[in-house]
Structure 1
Amino acid sequence: MRRIILSTESGADLPQDFAEKHEVQVVPMHVIMDGQDYLDGSLPVQDIYDYYDRTKKIPSTTATNAHEYHDFFTKIRADFPDCIIIHIGYTSKASASFQSAVIASEDFDDLYLIDALNVTGGLAAIVMYAVNLLENEPSIDPDKLIEKIEAIIPKSRLAFVPGSLEFLRAGGRVSNVAYLGGALLKLKPRIELIDGKLVSTKKYRGKMNVVAEKLMQDYLNDYNIDREQLYFQYSIGLDESIKQRMDELAKKNGFKNVKWMQAGAMISTHAGPGGFGIAGLEV
């Protein structure tokens, strides 16, 4: 029986210990800071915020290119000979990375690509779902596994509030008008993935401790999330009291397991410090 290897991108913010334990292969995206290209995962997130404090400039990000994908898939085949690769990629609607994977895949057999139409925790939830499927049914047919993964994609729900509108604006995720209006009124946008695109669906007023609770309440009202697992995402700078409160609310709402995931350098470059997000799978 041939082994199935799962892969994804660093923009999934998949916890390193989880990736290592389940041998999920992760290809890095890029952060460009002060003219230097850093691989996501090799750059401490705090360096991004320190750089901004010093220069008032925000780094940019770039997708993984086709050559890097070719090397990535080649290494997987070398490490796991005769394996079948299923790559669960960062949404193609917000990055060129998935298209690069498509180009690279032309040189490989038994390599399957799935556009997750999601990012960070929403993408991680899909990858973790795939890992669980493989663990529970290690002899599953690859076509059946792909069918199940693709079926769960529309059920992966991510909603987050960035910690800094300045970072979000610089990344081109909101217009200057929306940024200025939000800054003046102290509004924070709720960002969701709609058909793979990052969309501002609502605005909250107040400090992050208040906003986080409103986000949680609205998220659970809007979506019938499987109570078996909930994922929280945060960027460096989120107050510990907020994390504790979110844990309390998750328990109160019947969630059996909660996993916190820190945003990596690439996602943090867009979200800014102190951001908070929620992801889960609908039943």
Structure 2
Amino acid sequence: MIKVTSDSTCDLSPEILTNYNISLMPLHVVIDEQDFRDGVDITPADIFKYVGEQGKSCKTTAVNTFEYDTFFKEMSSKYEAVIHICLGSDFSSSYQNAKIASENYSNVYVIDSNNLSTGSGHIVYEAAILAKEGYPVEVICSKLEQLIPKVDASFVIDKMDYLRKGGRCSGMEALGATILKIKPSIEVVNGKMAVGKKYRGKFERCLDQYVKDRLENNENVDYSRLFITHSHCSPETVERVKQTIRQYADFDEIIETTAGCTISTHCGPNTLGILYKRKN
């Protein structure tokens, strides 16, 4: 039996994790020098309280080699093979640390997702489906490597406060965005984070245009699956996005998931993305 594992950053729903027996390795969230484990000791709501209400500093840190070694030791002894999908190597040193730890085990395979959130989640979910269908580990890893460059991941951010606090934009940029009501889209391009189109106006209207831009007349969309992943958006906002998606594309399944602590730490509340696969 093949075991699929991932970093906590994959942002898959508890139902998917349970149904496919996927185990997660939590990254660390450090708030004013106090260390928490993502999704274990801390939730996004806690982050919004500490950072948004109390003004504390918050950052995420990678899983270290010792932690991965302990994790792989337990998993490799129970399963024929372990496939671990990491947060993209350009976002964190977790991949490098996992790769080093895996060298102690002949049946542990570490995959660099080159992505984050449910961009990685697509890879994890695909691996779990293939494992459940009985594919050999080498075939699964090969299929995942082919899929990785086809994942389309992007988000729209309501406010740039958390990007500013994390040092990812200047105070002047954040102030200007607030005054002009700019909602930037953040895209993953070749494994790196990049600023995409900048929307203006109310958040919900910006999301309408964002969905249209991503999906309208896009012949390269794989319609098998789309994730809507968000950080504390209202149910009404998410439902509106679902309806907008259906205007432009007919996906076999649309899965809503909540962003974990990593996305929440850097982007804050009212962040939403649609993440899907491309044909090429």
Taking structure 1 as the reference length, the TM-score comes to 0.92
1:234 to 230, 234, 245: 230
SS in 2 for 1:76: helix
| Structure 2 residue 254 is matched with structure 1 residue 258 | yes
* Cα offsets for 1:131-154 (capped at 9, x unmatched): 222233x0x222221111000001
Q: What residue is the counterpart of 2:91 in the other structure?
A: 94
1:277 to 267, 273, 276: 273
| Structure 2 residue 108 is matched with structure 1 residue 104 | no
- AA partner of residue 280 (structure 1): Y
SS in 2 for 1:57: coil
Q: What residue is the counterpart of 2:71 in the other structure?
A: 72
- AA partner of residue 90 (structure 2): K
Could you tell me how far apart the structure 1 residues matched to 2:179 and 2:219 are?
31
SS in 2 for 1:276: strand
| Structure 2 residue 190 is matched with structure 1 residue 192 | no
- AA partner of residue 91 (structure 1): G
Q: Give how far 1:95 is off.
A: 0.6
Q: What residue is the counterpart of 1:26 in the other structure?
A: 24
| Structure 2 residue 197 is matched with structure 1 residue 202 | yes
Q: Give how far 1:174 is off.
A: 3.1
Q: What residue is the counterpart of 2:127 in the other structure?
A: 130
Cα 1:187/1:223, change in 2 over 3 Å: farther
Could you tell me how far apart the structure 2 residues matched to 1:58 and 1:164 are?
17
* Cα offsets for 1:148-178 (capped at 9, x unmatched): 1000001100110123311012223334453
Q: Give how far 1:20 is off.
A: 1.9
Q: 8 Å contact 1:12–1:90 — kept in the other structure?
A: yes
Q: Give how far 1:263 is off.
A: 0.7
Q: How many residues in Structure 1 have an aligned counterpart in Structure 2?
A: 276
Q: What residue is the counterpart of 1:158 in the other structure?
A: 153
* Cα offsets for 1:226-252 (capped at 9, x unmatched): 22211101101x122211111112333
2:4 to 3, 6, 14: 6
| Structure 2 residue 59 is matched with structure 1 residue 60 | yes
SS in 2 for 1:173: coil
Q: 8 Å contact 1:234–1:274 — kept in the other structure?
A: yes
2:36 to 31, 35, 38: 38
Q: 8 Å contact 1:159–1:219 — kept in the other structure?
A: no
- AA partner of residue 123 (structure 2): I
SS in 1 for 2:104: coil
SS in 2 for 1:74: helix
SS in 2 for 1:191: strand
Q: 8 Å contact 2:20–2:132 — kept in the other structure?
A: no
- AA partner of residue 48 (structure 1): I
Q: What residue is the counterpart of 1:51 in the other structure?
A: 50
| Structure 2 residue 138 is matched with structure 1 residue 180 | no
RMSD across aligned positions (CA): 1.6
Could you tell me how far apart the structure 2 residues matched to 1:63 and 1:151 are?
26
Could you tell me how far apart the structure 2 residues matched to 1:265 and 1:209 are?
23
- AA partner of residue 35 (structure 2): D
Could you tell me how far apart the structure 2 residues matched to 1:120 and 1:142 are?
24
* Cα offsets for 1:52-85 (capped at 9, x unmatched): 243223411111111110111112124x24x211
For residues 108-123 of structure 1, the aligned pairs below 5 Å read 108-123=105-120
Could you tell me how far apart the structure 1 residues matched to 2:207 and 2:82 are?
38
- AA partner of residue 87 (structure 1): H
- AA partner of residue 73 (structure 1): F
Identity, % of aligned positions: 33
Q: 8 Å contact 1:31–1:61 — kept in the other structure?
A: yes
- Structure 1 unpaired stretches of 5+: none
Q: 8 Å contact 2:44–2:260 — kept in the other structure?
A: yes
